[in-house]
Structure 1
Amino acid sequence: MKVNPYLNFDGKTEDAFNFYKSVFGGEFTANMKMEDAPGTDGLNEEEKNRIMHISLPIGKDTILMGSDIVQSMGHTLNQGNNVYISLHPESREEADRLFNGLSEGGDVEMPMEDQFWGDYFGSFIDKFGVRWMVNFNKQYI
């Protein structure tokens, strides 16, 4: 089984994914606008330019995916604290790089520190409202 996080935004997908690409590197494997989909002729220009689907590989078996909502199609975005993306890098250095890069401009909940359960861990909300955990445990690499 593979698990791929899928993120929804209200017109911020392109900005968010360009930011994530600047941290993770790589290239988008898909980047489609709403105007590319059939039946979207009635959308206004701003909605036509929103992201229908975007994919960014962020690891060997993980692809970060996302899209924008389209209010005129009945979509509603509800941001909450029920979803985190948990990253498990292969070194403390990579954990720090990811944490520092992705948390830039965001809100740090727990800074990267050695934790009582034995892991090097931190959590934050990025500048786009997405919640992340970075967890390194040398026993699992």
Structure 2
Amino acid sequence: MRLEAHLSFPGTCAEAFAFYQSILGGEITAMFRYGDAPGDMQGDPATKDYVMHAYLQIGDAAIMGADAPPQFQSKPQGFCVNIQAADVAEAQRIWGGLSEGAKAIQMPLAPTFWSPMFGMLIDKYDQPWMVNTTPDAAFMAANAPM
């Protein structure tokens, strides 16, 4: 089993996925628009350029997304997409990209007792992210609870 986050956008999915790909790498393997669907699935002509399905494959992980038709749009809440960076340098690079134009920095990127580098933000597309760094054995030994 695999779990994948599906992100919803108000007409900015294609732009957001290009942004995420520029930071996270990977390959956008699908980008279908409502206007490309069979006639009975196209819906409102005003949303023909909205993305119906996007898929960004990043190594063994992926994120999916779509533009929600206006009647179904809502701001994301109650979750964050977590990125588990291999090391501090990767976490800082990813944070630098995702925080560009961020709507909110909820927790600045900094060391914590569980991670050499952790931060939380809401990006310029209103999507919530956590950037977490995988601790090595030395970090875990130095920060183990008493």
What does 1:77-96 align with in structure 2 at a 5 Å threshold? 77-96=73-92
Match of 2:124 in 1: 127
Q: Is the 8 A contact 2:36 2:42 kept in 1?
A: no
SS of residue paired to 1:100: helix
User: CA shift at 1:18, angstroms?
Assistant: 1.2
Q: Evaluate the alpha carbon distance shift between residue 41 and residue 76 of structure 1 in structure 2; reply closer, same or farther with a 3 A threshold.
A: closer
Q: Is the 8 A contact 1:30 1:53 kept in 2?
A: yes
- Aligned counterparts of 1:9 and 1:26: Cα–Cα separation in 2: 20
- Aligned counterparts of 1:41 and 1:55: Cα–Cα separation in 2: 19
- Aligned counterparts of 1:33 and 1:64: Cα–Cα separation in 2: 17
- Aligned counterparts of 2:43 and 2:81: Cα–Cα separation in 1: 35
- Aligned counterparts of 1:33 and 1:41: Cα–Cα separation in 2: 9
- Aligned counterparts of 2:27 and 2:6: Cα–Cα separation in 1: 17
Structure 1 gap segments, 5+ residues each: none
Q: Evaluate the alpha carbon distance shift between residue 32 and residue 81 of structure 1 in structure 2; reply closer, same or farther with a 3 A threshold.
A: same
Q: Is the 8 A contact 1:40 1:48 kept in 2?
A: no
User: CA shift at 1:119, angstroms?
Assistant: 4.0
Output the TM-score relative to the length of structure 1.
Answer: 0.87
- Aligned counterparts of 1:51 and 1:41: Cα–Cα separation in 2: 11
Q: Evaluate the alpha carbon distance shift between residue 40 and residue 81 of structure 1 in structure 2; reply closer, same or farther with a 3 A threshold.
A: closer
Indicate whether 1:37 and 2:44 are aligned.
Answer: no
- Percent identity, aligned pairs only? 36
Structure 1 ranges of 4+ moved more than 3 A: none
- Aligned counterparts of 1:26 and 1:2: Cα–Cα separation in 2: 17
- Aligned counterparts of 2:14 and 2:64: Cα–Cα separation in 1: 11
How many residues align? The count is 135
User: CA shift at 1:42, angstroms?
Assistant: 5.2
Match of 2:93 in 1: 97
Q: Is the 8 A contact 1:2 1:61 kept in 2?
A: no
Q: Is the 8 A contact 2:115 2:133 kept in 1?
A: no
Output the TM-score relative to the length of structure 2.
Answer: 0.84
Q: Is the 8 A contact 2:121 2:129 kept in 1?
A: yes
Match of 1:66 in 2: 65
- Aligned counterparts of 1:101 and 1:42: Cα–Cα separation in 2: 34
Q: Deviations over 1:110-138 (max 9, x none)?
A: 11111133442111000010000011132
